[in-house]
Amino acid sequence: MNNYCLTLQYEGTRYDGWQKQGNTKNTIQGRLETILTQLCDEPITLIGSGRTDAGAHAAGQKANFHTQKTWQPETLLTEVNRRLPRDIGVVAVSIEKPAFHARFSAKEKTYCYRVWNSTVPNVLSGRYYFQSPAPLDISAMEQAAALFLGEHDFQSFCAARPGKKSTVRTIYAIDIDQKGPKVAIWVRGNGFLYQMVRILCGTLLEVGEGKRPAESMQPLLEAKNRSLAGITLPARGLMLMEVRYDHDEK
């Protein structure tokens, strides 16, 4: 049995997210599984590093699958890309050990949330930005972000979802990068809860707009109450940038 890992990019605008669900066929996972099943002549299940929301994007999603069929990585890359629409693409293929699992083996994920901080529209890359024209106090946002670093219970920053257990996660870094009207919030951690990055960034944006003091992040974490945190920002600004595994450090 071979185990292949795909590095994927997609513009999520016209898809219902990563994960196949009930009668929704228009998912990234669904599109890829159909193609892989055809190419491998057997039913393929593709394991993503995690779900990405409807409308969210990826520059470095990872997903693996097992197959009896043996592929040269470059051949697999070319054949899959030939069958994909332009807004989904395989940018790398690697051969992994049998136990490698794109979700369970993941050690670290990096997301970027992009805000277009201007009254003028972002025409040429607007698909990747949430437009918010109110002036932002970036240093207040950085102060607030610092309070999220480390291990915390992020229940206040998680959309309710039955069946989820621990809401404890570790954030390694949050960097806020401003270049003219482009504000990018980079969040790196060991894993993220449902809509956590969008709620976290929504709350940071409210700090930046002066609607909340930076210090209020501490009691907000302690409250463990979603309704006290900021808004869930739209998926269009969210991009999964990188997923890291132990073997990346070899």
Question: According to the 3-state scheme, what is the secondary structure of the chain?
Answer: CEEEEEEEEECHHHCCCCCCECCECCCHHHHHHHHHHHHHCCCCCCEECCCCCCCCEEEEEEEEEEECCCCCHHHHHHHHHHHCCCCEEEEEEEEECCCCCCCCCEEEEEEEEEEECCCCCCCCCHHHCEECCCCCCHHHHHHHHHCCCEEEECHHHCCCCCCCCCCEEEEEEEEEEEECCEEEEEEEECCCCCCHHHHHHHHHHHHHCCCCCHHHHHHHHHHCCHHHCCCCCCHHHEEEEEEEEHHHHC
Tokens of 22: 């009930």
| Pick 188 or 236: Cβ nearer its own copies | 236
| Pick 26 or 125: Cβ nearer its own copies | 125
CB of 233 to its own copies, least distance (A): 18
124 binding its own copies? (CB under 8 A): yes
- Among 21, 66, 73, 89, contact with its own copies (rule: CB under 8 A): 89
Among 16, 41, 53, 175, the one annotated catalytic:
53
- Among 32, 47, 77, 200, contact with its own copies (rule: CB under 8 A): 77
Q: Mask 189-208, x = binds its own copies (CB under 8 A)?
A: --------------------
Measure the CA–CA gap between 63 and 18, rounded to whole angstroms: 11
Measure the CA–CA gap between 170 and 6, rounded to whole angstroms: 26
Which range binds its own copies by CB under 8 A, 31-39, 121-129, 147-155, 187-195?
121-129
- Among 43, 68, 86, 162, contact with its own copies (rule: CB under 8 A): 86
- Among 1, 70, 97, 120, contact with its own copies (rule: CB under 8 A): 120
| Pick 109 or 212: Cβ nearer its own copies | 109
179 binding its own copies? (CB under 8 A): no
125 binding its own copies? (CB under 8 A): yes
Q: Is 53 a catalytic residue?
A: yes
Tokens of 207: 């700090």
- Among 2, 19, 81, 190, contact with its own copies (rule: CB under 8 A): 81
CB of 9 to its own copies, least distance (A): 4
Residues 9-48 close enough to bind its own copies by CB under 8 A: 9-11
CB of 26 to its own copies, least distance (A): 17
Measure the CA–CA gap between 194 and 198, rounded to whole angstroms: 9
Q: Which residues are part of the catalytic machinery?
A: 53
- Residues at the site binding its own copies, with contacts judged by CB under 8 A: 9-11, 57, 59, 77-78, 81, 84, 86-92, 119-126, 128
